């Protein structure tokens, strides 16, 4: 059965928007009719298929409004699209404000749509601690027909933190294996001025405080004392200035490349030998999966959903938060031992393409939609 599905997400570079957009594209490929209802066209939605539509939420800047009411404009646009297009499902990614706007929209169409909410992380692990928002997040979750989270850890944290009795289903994230696979790296190292024999350590993130990016610099400083290695920082965000300062303070300028936001992440990952994600909060870590699919073992912290993605000792290593001695030791092990690097690389690809395969995950979402429509 093909469905008409509305999708709302943050259209920016973050993981939740990426997952929502890739899900919409994959569902459209399976014949469903997809309606994105967002503030601007989602990053990654270029070249949309014929059965993908985009409805922009516009807000008027009346002078009486101190704060333009985006949440209400979104609810109103959702209700308009549900009615006009006959949507079966409204799938919102990120609880605040999307689940609340979806609830309002559902009320406006007399309940004639099912709401699925997917929790992605900071909507719970950061905002859930804010007393001015926690009751509203709980309300949005309880009023959704079905709720999913991107890891078991996030599902459990949500239930405990917000005292929620409703079942929260885990559906892991996925990546498109047609984009993320080991690319032919001839010339990429050369273009960046990196010697063929030099090892490459990578970090990809939005440089928010939760990513603990200064820890990555400290770990790399230790690694390059023993190994001929360079560091690639991919992405942009608030902590980037601090990271640059730390790199200079440690005299690592010649060993570190700041590449900013990149479209060719898969190519850059393909020249990398190990990747570091040392976050203090991380519900899943989509960038881990992207690296694994490109054959890059990842060293991550024992935080949130990270240990659900990396199998310690197989597709990478898990370290305690802030234990940079362990991070650098594991990285040096991987970089010094070609056999270990190759074994882990193979295991990473296998895990990324089996456990987190797009087709598997997308069909799990289809089951969720069925469940919501059957009112289970
Ligand atoms: O990590 C971020 O800062 C972005 C954030 C988002 O809301 O887009 O990512 C969250 O959702 C991703 C997709 O499900 C997850 O892979 C990230 O782990 C999660 N981030 C956090 O939990 C900090």
Classify 212 as helix, strand or coil: coil
The pick from 128, 284, 292 for probing ligand 1's pocket by mutation, whose C-beta has the most ligand atoms within 8 angstroms, reads: 284
Query: What ligand 1 atom has the least distance to the C-alpha of 210?
Result: 23
Of 120, 153, 286, 305, the one to substitute when testing ligand 1's pocket (max ligand atoms within 8 A of C-beta) is 120
**Cα 150 to Cα 20: distance, rounded to the nearest angstrom:** 12
Task: Please identify which residue in the block is written with the tokens 């079942």.
Answer: 167
Residues with CB under 6 A from ligand 1: 14-16, 19, 120-122, 125, 150, 173, 206, 208, 210, 281-286
Q: Which residue has the least CA distance to atom 2 on ligand 1? A: 14
Measured from the Cα of 12, ligand 1's closest atom is 8
Beta strands 4-8; 33-38: pairing state: parallel
Atom of ligand 1 nearest to the CA of 16: 8
DSSP strand pairing (298-301 vs 316-319)? parallel
What local confidence, expressed as pLDDT, does residue 13 receive? 66
Return the H-helix or E-strand segment holding 270: helix 265-270
ipTM of the complex: 0.97
Q: How far does residue 359's CA lie from ligand 1's centre (Å)? A: 21
Residue 257: left if φ>0, alpha if ψ -120 to 50, beta else—which one?
A: beta
How many CB atoms are closer than 10 A to CB 238? Answer: 12
118 CA: nearest ligand 1 atom: 14
Ligand 1 pocket test: which of 152, 283, 301, 310 has the largest number of ligand atoms within 8 Å of its C-beta? 283
Beta strands 274-277 and 199-204, pairing class: parallel
| Residue-wise DSSP of 285-340 | -HHHHHHHHTT--EEEES-TTHHHHS-BTTTEEEE-TT-HHHHHHHHHHHHH-HHH
User: Cα separation of 16 and 125, whole Å?
Assistant: 14
> Residue 123, CB half-sphere, CA atoms under 13 Å: how many?
29
Q: Residue 67: its pLDDT value, please?
A: 83
Q: Where are the beta strands (DSSP E) in the chain?
A: 4-8, 33-38, 52-56, 89-93, 114-119, 146-149, 168-170, 199-204, 229-234, 256-260, 274-277, 298-301, 316-319
Q: Which residue has the tokens 């989270």?
A: 149
Question: Structural domains in the chain?
Answer: 4-174+357-374 (3.40.50.2000), 188-354 (3.40.50.2000)
Q: How would you class 369 by CB atoms within 10 Å of its CB: exposed for 0-12, middle for 13-18, buried for 19 or more? A: buried
Residues in the chain: 376
What's the average pLDDT block by block, 10 residues per block, for the chain (376 residues)? 96 88 96 96 78 93 84 97 98 96 98 97 82 93 97 96 94 95 90 95 97 98 98 97 97 97 95 98 97 98 98 98 98 97 98 95 98 88
Distances from the Cα of 181 to the Cα of 20, 74, 186, 322, angstroms: 20, 36, 15, 30
Closest CA to 86 of 52, 59, 112, 67: 112
């Amino acid at each position: 059965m093909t469905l008409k599905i509305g999708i709302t997400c943050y259209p920016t570079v973050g993981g939740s928007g990426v997952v929502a957009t890739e899900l919409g594209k994959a569902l459209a490929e399976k014949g469903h009719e997809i309606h994105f209802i967002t503030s601007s066209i989602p990053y990654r939605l270029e070249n949309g298929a014929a059965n993908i539509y985009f409805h922009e939420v516009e807000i008027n800047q009346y002078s009486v409004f101190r704060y333009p009411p985006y949440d209400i404009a979104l609810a109103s646009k959702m209700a308009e699209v549900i009615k006009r297009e006959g949507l079966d499902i409204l799938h919102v990614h990120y609880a605040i404000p999307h689940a609340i706007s979806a609830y309002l929209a559902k009320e406006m169409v007399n309940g004639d749509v099912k709401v699925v909410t997917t929790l992605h992380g900071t909507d719970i692990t950061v905002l859930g601690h804010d007393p001015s928002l926690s009751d509203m997040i709980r309300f949005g979750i309880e009023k959704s027909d079905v709720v999913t989270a991107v890891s078991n850890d996030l599902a459990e944290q949500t239930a405990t933190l917000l005292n929620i009795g409703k079942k929260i289903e885990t559906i892991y994230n996925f990546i498109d294996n047609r984009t993320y696979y080991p690319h032919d790296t001839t010339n990429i190292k050369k273009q960046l001025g990196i010697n063929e024999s030099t090892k490459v350590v990578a970090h990809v993130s939005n440089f928010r405080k939760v990513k603990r990016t200064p820890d990555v610099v400290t770990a790399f400083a230790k690694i390059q004392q023993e190994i001929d290695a360079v560091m690639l920082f991919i992405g942009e965000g608030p902590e980037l200035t601090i990271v640059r300062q730390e790199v200079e303070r440690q005299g690592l300028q010649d060993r570190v490349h700041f590449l900013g936001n990149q479209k060719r992440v898969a190519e850059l990952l393909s020249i990398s030998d190990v990747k570091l994600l040392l976050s203090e909060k991380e519900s899943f870590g989509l960038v881990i999966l992207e690296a694994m699919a490109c054959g890059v073992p990842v060293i991550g912290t024992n935080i949130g959903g990270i240990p659900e993605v990396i199998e310690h000792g197989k597709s990478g290593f898990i370290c305690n938060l802030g234990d940079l001695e362990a991070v650098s030791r594991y990285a040096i092990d991987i970089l010094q031992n070609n056999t270990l690097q190759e074994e882990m690389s193979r295991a990473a690809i296998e895990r990324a393409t089996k456990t987190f395969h797009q087709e598997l995950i997308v069909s799990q979402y289809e089951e969720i939609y069925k469940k919501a429509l059957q009112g289970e």
